[in-house]
Amino acid sequence: MKAIWKGYLKFSLVMIPVKMYNAVSKRRAVPFHLLHGECKTRIKQQNVCPSCDKTLANEEMVRGFEYGKDMYVIVTDEEIQKVRKESTESIEISKFVDANQIQPIYYSDSHYLVPDGKVGFDAFALLYRALLDAKKAALGKVVIRNRENIFSIQPFDGALIAYTLRYPEEVQTAEKVPEEEKVDKVEVDSGNLAMAKTLVQNMTGDFVSEENRDEYREALMEIIKAKAEGEEIKVEPKAEKAKVISLMEALKKSVKETGKRERGEVPKKAMATAGKGAKEVSQKKRKAS
């Protein structure tokens, strides 16, 4: 893993040399290109002016901000350059807050922070332990590649993890949800609530990230691999799920089923549903061969 940034973690008069790694990979989506269906040639996207019916070169295009219908303010590259912030060499910590005060909706990307060389090991370890014991998060700001980032920095598995925080204007608060669509004041049936709590208890377990698989991506890659090897794959339509007759009946069945699961009595058929899409493709491949 290659460091994507090096600098300092600064709080008050303390400066710790650090380097940053990506904590997540964004290469999740299966990439597709648009082709001409007849000759399978990759098509080119062109910038066309609908008024002039003319294909434009890059130097003929300008940036415009629409402030009214068909009304634009033209902003030049020079003007944008004037307000861009220069990259900074340190993440400046402004304050420490209780980590649980930051709502999950504000979290965006995440990066690992580790000491850059032996010089900062002791100071880094000290900050790590102080945050861990106090259950605090450090709020820091840094400019990287002309973009200002706000970080919530928290101890995580022997390193610090810097969560990029969204700005307030990026977050749609729950206050904008119509009051008539909120359910916090709805009276619920006590019997149904008791069964719902039992269902939650029966289904309670530990979070294991490896259990979460992108079954759609796996099945799609199986199809792509099979077709690349010259095999035809028939995609069967999905069977419709049985409709729930009533909430009470659904709760009763769910509590009964999850109770069996707790006792290890889950039927093999029920256990085999996870990853079904990828397994069906594999079975069809074997039949085709």
For the chain, which domains are there?
Answer: 5-25+84-170 (2.40.290.10), 190-202+213-288 (no CATH)
Question: What confidence tier does 138 reach under pLDDT thresholds 50, 70, 90?
Answer: very high
Question: What confidence tier does 279 reach under pLDDT thresholds 50, 70, 90?
Answer: very low
Question: What confidence tier does 45 reach under pLDDT thresholds 50, 70, 90?
Answer: confident
Q: What is the pLDDT of residue 94?
A: 93
Question: What confidence tier does 43 reach under pLDDT thresholds 50, 70, 90?
Answer: very high
More confident residue, 287 or 115: 115
Q: What is the mean pLDDT of the chain?
A: 83
Rounded CA-CA distance 31/26 in Å is 12
Q: Are 285 and 234 contacting, i.e. CB atoms less than 8 angstroms apart?
A: no
SS3 153: strand
DSSP summary character for residue 199: H
Question: What confidence tier does 278 reach under pLDDT thresholds 50, 70, 90?
Answer: very low
Give me the percent of the chain exceeding a pLDDT of 70.
86
Give pLDDT tens digits for 49-75.
999 999 999 999 999 999 999 899 999
Q: Are 222 and 281 contacting, i.e. CB atoms less than 8 angstroms apart?
A: yes
Whether the pLDDT of residue 261 is over 80: the answer is no
Whether the pLDDT of residue 113 is over 90: the answer is yes
Give pLDDT tens digits for 182-198.
888 888 888 888 988 98
The pLDDT of 274-287, averaged and rounded, is 46
Question: What confidence tier does 276 reach under pLDDT thresholds 50, 70, 90?
Answer: very low
- Residue 113 amino acid letter: L
The pLDDT of 237-265, averaged and rounded, is 73
What is the β-pairing status of strands 107-115 and 159-165?
A: antiparallel
Q: What is the pLDDT of residue 8?
A: 94
